């Protein structure tokens, strides 16, 4: 059966898990008050655990003075700056709810997000104020006086400078008794690949469980120096910095991600843990062999082919994949002592606190080896989508959450991600997983990244189009469409082979910088065949 058993580490981890984010912070501060907590090296900003605690309680006090209370919705539109973790933790200290927004949002996107989440206060970077001013549907509940601007001079006399919060009287060191583990403390929007984005309501337990599981999966490695390469408003960067705090580690963070600077940062700051960015796999051999020798354990998300083996051999490091969603947190992980699962492309076994089923269209468990939809259960799931009753009704079956992801479990006990149910291409009645074709393409030497999308076709319903990005030293003349189609023919059933092929120098990426933003790749293009090579007609269109 596909239903998992409770993880044997659950009882032990439950005993060690703090009840709330403020309690976790207080515990960590008491352990290492003088250790550096955050180093934003591009800004020249370093704060110790004791200084972080003081700043969090001051900003929480300032927010209280402005009228923020338990349950108040406070949006944050900040890049990777010290004000992000301080404000996020201060909101949690009060028991309010943070709504984490992409600093690249336009006025129209703010119209949707701020209204959909019923935002009462907004903490915004000075660089984002033009987007705020471009809003056309700003609600009465968000007046100018409730806008807090980080950096520079506020463009409106009624706005408050973030630095004013930092000068407020600090709240007491003891966390507030009215804040509990199951209070919603943040709303994160999903990517909105289908329809408008939905806000996931996440509580203190969710975040603590997420970061505790992420540390647990490292198999005894306790991170000391952690690089947060990702945006902090996104679940990946947010979860990594929380896991670092839980471990009393130091978080090093650049203002902007940079593939060319990634390994020099690792070397300079003796980084022992990070999520290894996919683009860095393709340039790592250009650096001296000693660069990166401090790495001990890395998350290897969205790796294909021999990428993991190359990274492990290059740095003498353990790299492992895992499976998580904004809705259900950390669900599957590849254990350190299961290199066989890592080599086979598995996303692992059930993580602590997680049960998982693979079911058919009727919600019945499928046998091992068969593909079905993954359902998850256990504590620390989202409370639901904010103000989205229809989506909540569709997404839950009793205590089980429907992920929308297609998986199978093999006899080795490992779970394998096949693709998104809604990232399937239906060609002449055959279902084709975009992820499977992408994985095949990335196993061809010289292909750095790939993305597969459907193309409307009157005869077959949909056809398959692949975009590929070659490694820097190669050109279209060296890896031709015929080379790519021959590779696919060797490894894929005939109906899965792309008909159309396009080359791109770069891909638009999602906010986490680790997945292709397919909507951006195809939006505004009336005919996706144009500019692509047609395998059937053997012409460039």
Please tell me the least confidently modeled range out of 121-130, 380-389, 506-515: 506-515
Beta bridge partners, 97, equal: 73
Question: Residue 400: CB partners within 8 Å, gap ≥ 6?
Answer: 357, 375, 376, 377
Give the pLDDT score at 108: 82
* 3-class DSSP state of 453: strand
118 Rama class: left (phi>0) / alpha (psi -120 to 50) / beta: left
For the chain, how big is the Rg over CA atoms in Å?
Answer: 24
- As a whole number of angstroms, the distance between CA 350 and CA 323 comes to 9
Give the pLDDT score at 7: 65
- As a whole number of angstroms, the distance between CA 309 and CA 332 comes to 20
Give the pLDDT score at 195: 53
What own/partner pairs with CB < 8 Å and gap ≥ 24 does 263-270 have?
263/287, 263/291, 263/292, 264/291, 265/41, 265/227, 266/227, 266/291, 266/292, 266/294, 266/295, 267/291, 267/292, 267/293, 267/294, 269/39, 269/41, 269/225, 269/227, 270/224, 270/225, 270/294
Give the pLDDT score at 512: 57
State the average pLDDT over residues 152-157.
Answer: 76
Give the pLDDT score at 1: 41
Instruction: Report all structural domains of the chain as residue ranges with CATH numbers, in order of start.
Output: 49-179 (3.40.50.980), 206-419 (3.40.50.12780), 425-540 (3.30.300.30)
Residue 194 has pLDDT above 50, yes or no: no
Q: Which residue has the tokens 């003796």?
A: 270
Q: Are 372 and 405 in contact (CB under 8 A)?
A: no
Highest mean pLDDT among 301-315, 400-414, 455-469: 400-414
Query: Tokens at residue 67, please?
Result: 């009228």
Query: What is the pTM assigned to this prediction?
Result: 0.82
Higher pLDDT, 278 or 486: 486
Query: Tokens at residue 261, please?
Result: 């600077």
* 3-class DSSP state of 145: helix
Query: Tokens at residue 475, please?
Result: 């050109």
Identify which of 48, 51, 54, 46 has the alpha carbon closest to the alpha carbon of residue 82.
46
Average pLDDT, the chain: 91
pLDDT category at 356 given cuts 50, 70, 90 is very high
Residue 381 has pLDDT above 50, yes or no: yes
* 3-class DSSP state of 538: coil
- Number of C-beta neighbours around residue 433 at 10 A: 20
* 3-class DSSP state of 352: coil
Higher pLDDT, 152 or 55: 55
**Helix pair angle (21-31, 49-66), 10° resolution:** 150
Residue 424 has pLDDT above 80, yes or no: no
Residue 285 has pLDDT above 60, yes or no: yes
Query: Tokens at residue 186, please?
Result: 């943040």
Give the pLDDT score at 106: 84
- As a whole number of angstroms, the distance between CA 112 and CA 116 comes to 6
Give the CA distances from residue 111 to residues 134, 154, 366, in Å, rounded to whole numbers and listed in that order.
9, 20, 43
Please tell me the least confidently modeled range out of 269-273, 355-359, 422-426, 464-468: 422-426
Please tell me the least confidently modeled range out of 8-12, 163-167, 373-377: 8-12
Q: Are 232 and 85 in contact (CB under 8 A)?
A: yes
Q: Are 427 and 495 in contact (CB under 8 A)?
A: yes
Burial of 485 (0-12, 13-18, 19+ CB in 10 A): middle
Higher pLDDT, 11 or 311: 311
Give the pLDDT score at 429: 63
Residue 193 has pLDDT above 50, yes or no: no
Question: Residue 294: CB partners within 8 Å, gap ≥ 6?
Answer: 225, 266, 267, 270, 271, 272
Question: Residue 191: CB partners within 8 Å, gap ≥ 6?
Answer: 197, 510, 511
> How is 382-400 classified by DSSP, letter by letter?
--EETT-HHHHHHHEETTE
Q: Are 279 and 471 in contact (CB under 8 A)?
A: no
Convert the pLDDT of each residue in 20-46 to its tens digit.
Answer: 999 999 999 999 999 999 999 999 999
- As a whole number of angstroms, the distance between CA 228 and CA 87 comes to 17
- As a whole number of angstroms, the distance between CA 322 and CA 348 comes to 6
Residue 367 has pLDDT above 90, yes or no: yes
Give the pLDDT score at 525: 85
Convert the pLDDT of each residue in 44-66 to its tens digit.
Answer: 999 999 999 999 999 999 999 99
Higher pLDDT, 22 or 435: 22
pLDDT category at 421 given cuts 50, 70, 90 is low
Give the pLDDT score at 511: 59
What's the 3-state SS for 203-222? EHHHHHHHHHHHHHCCCCCC
pLDDT category at 304 given cuts 50, 70, 90 is confident
Higher pLDDT, 518 or 455: 455
Convert the pLDDT of each residue in 226-265 to its tens digit.
Answer: 999 988 998 889 999 999 999 999 999 999 888 899 999 9
* 3-class DSSP state of 107: helix
Q: Are 417 and 372 in contact (CB under 8 A)?
A: no
Alpha helical stretches, state H, 431-517: 434-442, 481-491
- Number of C-beta neighbours around residue 14 at 10 A: 13
- As a whole number of angstroms, the distance between CA 465 and CA 437 comes to 10
Higher pLDDT, 154 or 383: 383
Q: Which residue has the tokens 């279209």?
A: 476
Residue 305 has pLDDT above 80, yes or no: no
State the average pLDDT over residues 99-118.
Answer: 90
């Amino acid at each position: 059966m596909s239903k998992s058993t409770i993880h044997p580490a659950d009882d032990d981890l439950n005993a060690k898990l703090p009840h709330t984010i403020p309690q976790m912070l207080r515990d960590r501060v008491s352990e290492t008050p003088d250790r550096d907590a955050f180093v934003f090296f591009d800004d020249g900003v370093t704060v110790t655990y004791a200084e972080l605690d003081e700043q969090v309680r001051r900003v929480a006090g300032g927010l209280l003075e402005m009228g923020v209370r338990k349950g108040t919705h406070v949006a944050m539109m900040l890049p990777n700056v010290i004000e992000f973790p301080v404000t996020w933790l201060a909101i949690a200290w009060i028991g309010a709810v943070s709504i984490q927004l992409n600093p690249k949002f336009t006025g129209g996107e703010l119209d949707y997000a701020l209204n959909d989440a019923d935002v009462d206060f907004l903490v915004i970077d000075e660089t984002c104020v033009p987007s705020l001013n471009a809003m056309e549907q700003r609600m009465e509940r968000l007046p100018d006086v409730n806008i807090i601007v980080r950096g520079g001079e506020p463009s409106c006399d009624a706005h408050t400078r973030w630095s004013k919060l930092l000068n407020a009287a600090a709240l007491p060191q003891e966390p507030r008794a009215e804040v509990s583990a199951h209070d919603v403390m943040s709303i994160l929007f999903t990517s909105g690949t289908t329809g408008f984005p939905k806000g996931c309501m996440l509580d203190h337990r969710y975040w603590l469980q997420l970061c505790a599981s992420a540390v647990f999966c490292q198999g005894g490695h306790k991170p000391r120096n952690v690089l947060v390469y990702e945006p902090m408003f996104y679940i990946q960067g947010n979860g990594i910095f929380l896991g670092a705090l839980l471990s009393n580690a130091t978080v090093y963070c650049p203002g902007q991600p940079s593939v060319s600077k990634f390994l020099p940062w690792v070397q300079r700051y003796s980084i022992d843990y990070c999520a290894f960015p996919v683009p860095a796999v393709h340039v790592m051999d250009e650096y001296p062999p000693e660069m990166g020798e401090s790495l001990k354990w890395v998350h290897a998300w969205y790796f294909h082919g021999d990428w993991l083996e190359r990274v492990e051999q290059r740095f003498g490091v353990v790299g492992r994949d895992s499976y998580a969603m904004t809705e259900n947190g950390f669900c599957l992980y590849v254990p350190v002592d299961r290199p066989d699962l890592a080599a086979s492309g598995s996303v692992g076994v059930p993580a602590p606190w997680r049960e998982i089923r693979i079911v058919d269209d009727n919600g019945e468990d499928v046998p091992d080896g068969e593909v079905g939809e993954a359902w998850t259960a256990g504590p620390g799931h989202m409370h639901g989508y904010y103000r989205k009753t229809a989506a909540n009704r569709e997404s839950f079956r009793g205590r089980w959450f429907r992920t929308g992801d297609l998986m199978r479990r093999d006899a080795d006990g490992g779970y394998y991600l096949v693709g998104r149910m809604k990232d399937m291409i239906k060609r002449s009645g055959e279902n084709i997983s975009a992820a499977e074709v992408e994985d095949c393409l990335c196993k061809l030497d010289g292909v750095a990244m790939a993305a597969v999308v459907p193309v409307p076709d009157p005869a077959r319903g949909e056809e398959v189009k692949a975009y590929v990005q070659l490694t820097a030293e190669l050109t279209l003349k060296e890896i031709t469409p015929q080379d790519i189609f021959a590779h696919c023919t060797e490894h894929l059933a005939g109906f899965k082979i792309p008909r159309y092929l396009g080359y791109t120098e770069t891909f638009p990426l999602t906010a986490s910088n680790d997945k292709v933003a397919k909507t951006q790749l195809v939006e505004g293009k009336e005919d996706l065949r144009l500019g692509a090579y047609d395998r059937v007609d053997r012409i460039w269109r």
